[in-house]
Amino acid sequence: MSKKTDRGTRSRFYDGYELARYRKWRGFKDSWVDFREWLTEKKISGELIKADPVRAFKALTTYHWLAPYLGSGSMLDRTIDDAHGEALLIAHKYMQFLLKSNVDALVKIIRADERFGKNEYAKKMVIFEQDTSPILIGGFPNLTNAVEEPYFGILAAANDQHAGHYFTDIIDSYGLPSDSCRNSSIVCGVAIDDQLPYYGACLITSNAPCDSSVMNSSVVERRLKIPSIQGCTPMRWKDEDTREYAVAHVKEVIKFIEDCTGETFDWDAFFKTVRQYNEETRIQHELWELAKSPYYPVPSVPNLLYRSFQLSFSSGLNENCAKIGREMLAICEKCVREKINVRPKTRHRTLVCGAPASYYMHFSTWMYECWGVNTVAVLNNLSHHEYICEDDKEEALWGVAQLWEQAIMRRHLVGGYENMLELFEEYERFNCDMIVYYDNITCKGSKAITGMVQDIANERGIPLVWISHDLIDPRNIPRSEMRRQFNDFMSTVMNEEPLDASLLDFDDSKGW
C-alpha cells in the first residue's frame, strides 16, 4: 500500500490542519448551490452573537467549551465534502437545521446564564441531561427545555478535535477514573472547573445512555445546586415486568417539574407535541425504506446527526424538524424514483455500529472519498422508532418511557445482548455488504459483547472492521490511527485499492 504520494486532494489543505486554503470547486451548478447555502449558514451562525452580543462575548471569554463552535463552518465543510448534486442540497439543508438548533440552544443557555446577571429566563428552563428526550416539556408550554451536556463534549469535539483535552485533564488531576466514558468525564470536568452555566428551575438527570451518566450526574448536582431528580429508566427495557416501574417514574418526573416550577402539566399541549413527534417518526420510517435503494442520496454524516437531533433535541418540540424531513423526503423519493445516482463512488454499502468518534465525525466522509464505502445506515439512528399513543394518557406515558429507554446509544449498546445482536438484522435490511463497528475504548457496556459479534460475523461471512477510538480525546487514538485501521482492513480483507491514494495517510493532528 502506498504511503504519502503526491498531495492530490490534500493539496487544498494546510499541512497538519483540516483548514482548507480554498474551497472545493464542484462544477458551476454545485458550486453555486454551495455558495448560496454557505450564505444561509453564515446568517444562522451570526444569530449566536446577534441575540445578545454582550452576553455572547462574556460567554466566549469564560467557557472553554463554547469557543470550539467558532469552527462550525469548517465542520460543515468537512461533513459535506463528499456530496454532489441532490446529495449536496440535502446535506446543506440537514446541516442548516442542526446549526439552527444548536445556535438556538446556545442562545437560550447564554441568555439564561445567571453568571452574567439575573434574568427572567433562568427559572423557566428545565435541564435534561445527556441525550434524554425533552418531550415532556411539550406539556409545559410556559417552560423551555435545555440540553447542555452534548455541547460540552460530543458536539464541541465535532467542531474542534482538541476541545476535550482541558476537561479530561482536570478529572485526571482530580482523581476520578481516567478510563471512564469521555462523554461523562468531560461533563464532570466542566462541573469541577466551574464552567457550568448557572440557570435552570430543575435538573432531570438520567442513566442515558448508560450508568456512566449516573456518575457525572452526582458531580453536576453538587455544582449546580438546583433541585434535581433521577429520571432513570430500566436498562432491560424489553422485559415487560419493567413497564409499570418505567411509567411510574415518568409520572414522578412530571410531578417533580410541577413542584419545582409551579406549572401544571397540560395534556392537550403534550398530545400536540406527541403528534408532531409521530410525524417526525413517520418521515424517518419512509427515509429508512428509501435507504435500502442504491440511489439513496443522503450523505452519511448529516444522516447520523439529523436523527440524533430529532430524538434528543426535538422529539416533537421543534416544528422545523418535520418540515426539513418532508423536504428531504421529497428529494430522496425523486432520486430513488428517477434512479439518480449522486453517490457514484460507492463500491460498498456499510452499516455503522457503535458511537462514532466525535473528534472524527467526518470519518464516514473520508471512508467514501478514499475507499468508496458508503454509509447507508447507522445503528444509533435506529433507536426508538415507535409511535407514541396520541389519545390515551397511560399509553402515552408508556411511550415516553420507551423513548427514554431506547434513546440514542441505548437501544443497541445496553439492555441485554439480544438488542446488540439486532445489528445483523439491520445489516440484511439495508442491503449492506460490510459492517464498520466503532469501538469506543472507554465503553465498558459494549466491550462484553465484542467477541460474540465477531464470532457471528465470521460464521455468516460478513466483513466486519473494528475502528477503535477514544470518543472525545484524540491523544490516545488520533484520526490517523483510525484511518490506518480502516486502510489495513480494506487492503488486506476487502482486497481493494484506494480511490484516492493522497487520502490514505496525512497529517491533520494540529487544527480543528
Interacting residue ranges for other proteins, rule: CB under 8 A: 19-23, 35, 38-39, 42, 60-64, 67-68, 70-71, 73-74, 77, 160, 170, 174, 192-195, 222-223, 511-512
User: How far is it, in rounded angstroms, from Cα 431 to Cα 351?
Assistant: 9
Least distance between other proteins and beta carbon 259 (Å): 26
Least distance between other proteins and beta carbon 308 (Å): 24
Least distance between other proteins and beta carbon 352 (Å): 27
Q: Is 509 exposed, middle or buried (0-12, 13-18, 19+ CB in 10 A)?
A: middle
Grid coordinates in use for 398?
408508556
User: How far is it, in rounded angstroms, from Cα 273 to Cα 366?
Assistant: 38
Map residue 131 onto helix, strand or coil: coil
The DSSP call for residue 311 is I
Least distance between other proteins and beta carbon 208 (Å): 24
Map residue 387 onto helix, strand or coil: coil
Choose between 42 and 255: whose C-beta lies nearer to other proteins. 42
Choose between 142 and 173: whose C-beta lies nearer to other proteins. 173
Choose between 361 and 378: whose C-beta lies nearer to other proteins. 361
Least distance between other proteins and beta carbon 78 (Å): 10
Q: Is 65 exposed, middle or buried (0-12, 13-18, 19+ CB in 10 A)?
A: buried
| Rounded to 5°, angle at Cα 116 from 258 and 185 | 70
User: How far is it, in rounded angstroms, from Cα 430 to Cα 14?
Assistant: 38
Choose between 498 and 511: whose C-beta lies nearer to other proteins. 511
Least distance between other proteins and beta carbon 116 (Å): 13
Choose between 226 and 332: whose C-beta lies nearer to other proteins. 226
Q: What per-residue string of b and e applies to 110-133 under the rule 16 or more CB within 10 Å gives b? A: bbbbebbeeeebbbbbbbbbbbbb
Least distance between other proteins and beta carbon 232 (Å): 23
Choose between 89 and 257: whose C-beta lies nearer to other proteins. 89
Left (φ > 0), alpha (ψ -120 to 50) or beta: where does 473 sit?
beta
Grid coordinates in use for 80?
459535506
SS3 labels along 25-61 = CCCHHHHHHHHHHHHHHHHHHHHHHHCCHHHHHHHHC
Q: Quick check: 308 and 147 in contact, CB under 8 A?
A: no
Choose between 163 and 400: whose C-beta lies nearer to other proteins. 163
Contacts for 189-193: CB closer than 8 Å, 24+ residues apart: 190/65, 190/152, 191/216, 191/219, 191/220, 191/222, 191/223, 191/224, 192/219, 192/223, 193/64, 193/166, 193/167
Least distance between other proteins and beta carbon 192 (Å): 6
Least distance between other proteins and beta carbon 5 (Å): 24
Choose between 32 and 267: whose C-beta lies nearer to other proteins. 32
Choose between 203 and 435: whose C-beta lies nearer to other proteins. 203
